[in-house]
Amino acid sequence: MQNARYNVGVTAYAGAEVATGRATLTTQVPWGVDPSEGGVGLGVAATFAPVPIGEPAIACASSTPCRITGPGTLRRGMPFLCYAESVGHAGCDQFKGQNGGLMPDTSSFRAKIERHESTHVAQFNFGRLNGDLYGIEDGSFPLMSFAPPGGPPLGQLTAPTQGELEQAFRNYLILWIRASGDQQRERSGAAESEAWQAADGVPPQYLFQMCHCGSQCQ
């Protein structure tokens, strides 16, 4: 939780009587990091990673097993911004359920949150903090060299039929996305620090008392 404190003053009139009072009001907003599907962000919004979509090119000859020959239609998808009104993303729907609903677009803090999350989106641009993750369209097709523990690299994977190879590829892809997610989580401290700094100047202001990126926060 992050706390914001406000000094509130009240003056009440009852005939000739006047009463005044002052108090400190503390509001709380549930900041958190969603661990599922590479999502990072606040408990009020989240940015989900640009995981690959499409299918690889597969060659099957009568005398040899089927094999993957290149990226085919595979490409890196777009990051998904998860807000209260967002639809069409299973991870976002799950995130909403875990957090009991997200910040509505009518909130006075919405612009601040949007700046924070848009920074996470930009971090997936090539050359930025997470620009090397989940990508397959840089010409080298790095997924081809990916090898899970005890298995051959994807480029050496074969199967008797195209259907079997497609299933084996999907299994590899899941493991590769998880490996990219692990690297993303290792960088989460730097990612959150950059996003907070980008959003700090957007009104309204509040007092930060905790930081979920721990010793990595700058």
What are the residue ranges spanned by the domains of the chain?
A: 2-213
Say what the pLDDT of residue 28 is.
57
Could you tell me if 39 and 77 are in contact, meaning their C-beta atoms sit under 8 angstroms apart? no
Amino acid at 96: K
46: helix, strand or coil: strand
Please write down the HEC assignment for all residues of 15-31: CCEEEEEEEEEEEEECC
Q: Which residues of the chain have pLDDT under 70?
A: 1-6, 25-43, 100-101, 137-141, 206-218
Say what the pLDDT of residue 211 is.
43
Say what the pLDDT of residue 203 is.
84
Could you tell me if 126 and 135 are in contact, meaning their C-beta atoms sit under 8 angstroms apart? yes
- 95's enclosing H/E stretch is helix 90-99
Say what the pLDDT of residue 57 is.
92
Please give the structure tokens belonging to residue 180. Answer: 């990219």
- Give burial (CB, 10 Å; 0-12/13-18/19+) of 216: middle
Q: Percentage helix, strand, coil, to 5, in the chain?
A: 35, 25, 40
